[in-house]
Amino acid sequence: MTGNACKTNNRSALLTMIKNLLGVKASPQDDCYPLSLFVVTGAAIGISGVVLSLLGNPANTGYCVSCFMENIVGSLRLHGNIRMQYLRPEIIGFVLGSLMMALARGEYQATGGSSPLLRFLVGGLLIVGCAVFIGCPIKMMFRVSAGDLTALVGVAGLVAGVFIGMQFLKNGFSLGRSTPAPFANGLLIPGFMALLLAALLVRPGFISISSKGPGSQYAPLLLSLAAGIGVGLLAQRTGFCITGGISRLFLWGPKEFSFCPKTRGLAIGLVSLFSFALVASLLTDQFSLGWHGQPSSNESHLWNFLGMTLVGFGSVLIKGCPFRQLIAAGQGDTDAGSAVLGMLVGAALVQNWGLAGNAEGTPSEGKIAVLFGLAVLLIVGLLYRRRGESYAPEFQAGLD
Amino acid sequence: MDRFDRIGIIAICVLAIAAFFVMQADRGEDKRDPLAQQREAVQERTISTPELEKQINVIRNLLDAGNPAEAEPLAKAVVQQYPFQAEPQMLLGDVLMQMQDPIQAMHAYKKAIGYNPDYLDRKTPQFQGKKLKNAVGEALTEIESRLKQHPGDENLNREKKTVYYLYRKIAGSCG
């Protein structure tokens, strides 16, 4: 769920030895996943997100994978909503930042072959769930930290979805193990993102950029790109994932937070994101506590809950939330790349079919899509079960 | 097939039944494509006949002269004549605000921003977010004072929902 295996090197072993000599209890993994890095990752996402929102991004939308995906496909003219067209540099930055860190640390590895088409489908459903809730799990954190109490319904939905997904994992769900792929395969999604970046800079005729509406609201390009790259670098290094942190709780229970450095790190990362985003929102006058009148919200609480349940459930099945899929795609995971392409298609469908939640509530098309999505995930979960078995090997990898 | 499979199948059936009921409930709703509606609204808004402009100018002059009582029937007549245009609705809202009827003004504004979302878009010259926010605030104050006199009044509670809806519209969204 959360990414990279810890590679204990000589330096971290040395650090552990020094700590032991000083009487500080530490394992090599503590050095591999230093808590300070998770604090920094959460802080970087939280602060930069609020600043981007202050400098032009829509309210409470410093980062939102689903909204930004809708903007990107709009800009590529895969939907016709003239208010939702922009090649969001943050998304490009996530992938390129992840690639840079993976190459620098020798962790880039092209892999694939673990049910890519199914991941494509689930990727699309993740964006449908996010669009109904009006935000991905990262934006959900921004909404909560800006005082939007309606987003707490989404938190509950996400936790419920992760719980359901974990039950499937516990009962033998498996998409099959990924295997090494040719080096260049892993560069397809980063290459696509680099092309998008070039298109954003050159602005050829086939690219549309909104002159009004949410698509026209954006922070300065270079700042957004730098923030995205920075977050991508840190997220690759730590394996930061919203659903990953929650799923570990269900996997091993609260006790695990005191034993596993990475589990503790992910929890601290989430707390750090929330805390820093909260403080930044307060300092920049973007905090407004309440149930009513919040940006990107509505009163369809049941459907917001179910939308995030869909996201949590789907994220567990494909090992990561939408944000994590982008980071994994950057480090060579072509299965995550399939999910990213599915997310792009899902974003186009959300706009073309009018599935997204809005200030008025959840449209009936969105309600049906969420129910359909949950049913599809249940069918997938049942069809891909290995009866009589428990956690499949691919879900144990990276859980160091 | 074990217990887990059975639970899964039951859940799928429940979801299918729920989807059926949502579809049934949906049948009565307006099924027009929202994007097409938006395009139509923009097209409607851009049709500006000299006659309409003239009527709007007359009403604006009456408002500027502090004569909303005379402007009100004229504004209502224009709205009736051009029911799907944003500007007459916005003008009627302005008239009703001057007549100190913020609740009815709020409804007129709601229609106006429904026809033309540019009124809430800072990047367009039509942006009137601050004015609308003040109007909605006044409507909320009025509703709450009336609710104190008639607690449990369903109509007023519905009006409150409109207030919250407009606050959300004014606050903006990423989608």
What CATH number is attached to the domain comprising B100?
A: 1.25.40.10
Quote the minimal CA–CA distance from B41 to chain A in Å. 13
pLDDT at A3: 42
Intervals of chain A under pLDDT 50:
1-5, 7-11, 14, 399-400
- Do residues B40 and B111 share a domain? yes
A312 contacts A164 by C-beta, under 8 angstroms: yes
- Do residues B42 and B93 share a domain? yes
Distance CA A213, CA B123 (A): 8
Instruction: Provide the 3-class DSSP secondary structure of residue B81.
Output: helix
pLDDT at B84: 87
Q: Which residues contact A117 (CB under 8 A, 6 or more apart)?
A: A338
Distance CA A261, CA A251 (A): 15
The alpha carbon dihedral of B2, B6, B11, B15 has a sign of positive
The amino acid that residue A205 corresponds to is G
- Do residues B166 and B91 share a domain? yes
Q: Where are the alpha helices (H) located in chain A, listed in sequence order? A: 10-21, 28-32, 35-54, 65-75, 89-104, 116-133, 137-145, 151-170, 188-202, 221-238, 242-252, 256-259, 261-283, 301-317, 322-330, 334-352, 364-383, 393-396
Q: CB pairs below 8 Å between A and B: how many?
A: 113
CB contact under 8 A, A358 and B123: no
Q: Which of A250-254, B64-68, B80-84 has the lowest mean pLDDT?
A: A250-254
Quote the minimal CA–CA distance from B120 to chain A in Å. 9
pLDDT at A94: 98
Structure tokens, A94? 């996530």
Q: Provide the residue range defining the domain that includes B23.
A: 1-31
Residue position matching structure tokens 């359901």:
A164
**Nearest residue on chain A to B172, judged by CA atoms?**
A295
Give contacts of A 268-297 with B, CB under 8 A: 292-297
Q: How many CB atoms lie within 10 A of CB A192?
A: 17
Distance CA B113, CA B126 (A): 11
Q: Which of A165-179, B27-41, B43-57 has the lowest mean pLDDT?
A: B27-41
pLDDT at A8: 47
As beta bridge partners, residue A333 has A111
Query: Which is more confident, A398 or B11?
Result: B11
Total domain count, chain B: 2
- Do residues B122 and B59 share a domain? yes
- Do residues B82 and B124 share a domain? yes
pLDDT at A10: 47
- Do residues B93 and B162 share a domain? yes
Which residues of chain B approach chain A closer than 8 Å at the C-beta? 2, 4-5, 8-9, 11-12, 15-16, 18-19, 22-23, 25-26, 29, 33-35, 38, 117-118, 121, 123-124, 161, 164-165, 167-175
Residue A103 is given by DSSP the state: H
R_g over Cα of chain B: 22
Give contacts of A 217-276 with B, CB under 8 A: 217
Distance CA A89, CA A139 (A): 16
Which of A128, A365, A377 would best serve as a mutation to test chain B binding (most B beta carbons within 10 A)? Answer: A365
Maximum CA extent, chain B: 80
From chain B, the residues in CB contact with A216 under 8 A are 121, 123
pLDDT at A19: 54
Quote the minimal CA–CA distance from B68 to chain A in Å. 30
Backbone phi and psi for residue A290, each to the nearest 5 degrees, phi listed first: 160, 170
Q: How many CB atoms lie within 10 A of CB A353?
A: 17
- pLDDT confidence bin for B27, thresholds 50/70/90: confident
CB contact under 8 A, B16 and A294: no
Buried/exposed code over B149-169 (b: 16+ C-beta within 10 A; e: otherwise)? eeeeeeebeebbebbbbbbbb
Quote the minimal CA–CA distance from A200 to chain B in Å. 20
Quote the minimal CA–CA distance from B40 to chain A in Å. 13
CB contact under 8 A, B5 and A295: no
Helices A301-317 and A116-133, axial angle in degrees (round to 10): 160
From chain A, the residues in CB contact with B16 under 8 A are 371, 375
Spatial CA neighbour of A62 closest among A158, A150, A143, A154: A143
Q: C-alpha dihedral over A108, A113, A115, A120, to 10 degrees?
A: 50
- Do residues B26 and B106 share a domain? no
Q: Which of B23-27, B88-92, B103-107 has the lowest mean pLDDT?
A: B23-27
From chain A, the residues in CB contact with B40 under 8 A are none
CB contact under 8 A, B25 and A364: yes
- Do residues B27 and B95 share a domain? no
Which of B167, B170, B174 lies at the smallest CB-CB distance from A296? B174
pLDDT at A17: 53
- Do residues B11 and B85 share a domain? no
pLDDT at A400: 39
- Do residues B66 and B132 share a domain? yes
Q: Where are the alpha helices (H) located in A33-150, listed in sequence order? A: 35-54, 65-75, 89-104, 116-133, 137-145
Backbone phi and psi for residue A173, each to the nearest 5 degrees, phi listed first: -65, 135
- Is B33 a residue whose pLDDT tops 60? no
Which of A212, A299, A370, A379 would best serve as a mutation to test chain B binding (most B beta carbons within 10 A)? Answer: A212
Apex CA A98: angle with CA A94 and CA A104, to 5°?
Answer: 150
pLDDT at B40: 55
- Is B43 a residue whose pLDDT tops 60? no
- Do residues B92 and B116 share a domain? yes
CB contact under 8 A, A359 and B123: no
pTM: 0.89
Task: Round the average pLDDT of chain B to a whole number and report it.
Answer: 88
- Do residues B139 and B113 share a domain? yes
From chain A, the residues in CB contact with B161 under 8 A are 299
Give contacts of A 42-61 with B, CB under 8 A: 58-61
From chain A, the residues in CB contact with B117 under 8 A are 83, 213
Distance CA A386, CA B4 (A): 12
A157 contacts A305 by C-beta, under 8 angstroms: yes
A122 contacts A175 by C-beta, under 8 angstroms: no
Spatial CA neighbour of A175 closest among A397, A393, A398, A376: A393
R_g over Cα of chain A: 20
- pLDDT confidence bin for B46, thresholds 50/70/90: low
Q: Looking at residues B46-52, what average pLDDT do you find? A: 74
Any chain B CB within 8 A of the CB of A356? Answer: yes
Structure tokens, B101? 């009827």
Spatial CA neighbour of A345 closest among A87, A79, A85, A64: A79
From chain B, the residues in CB contact with A380 under 8 A are none
Any chain B CB within 8 A of the CB of A131? Answer: yes
Q: How many CB atoms lie within 10 A of CB A389?
A: 12
Residue position matching structure tokens 């980062």:
A63
Instruction: Provide the 3-class DSSP secondary structure of residue B10.
Output: helix
Distance CA B94, CA B97 (A): 5
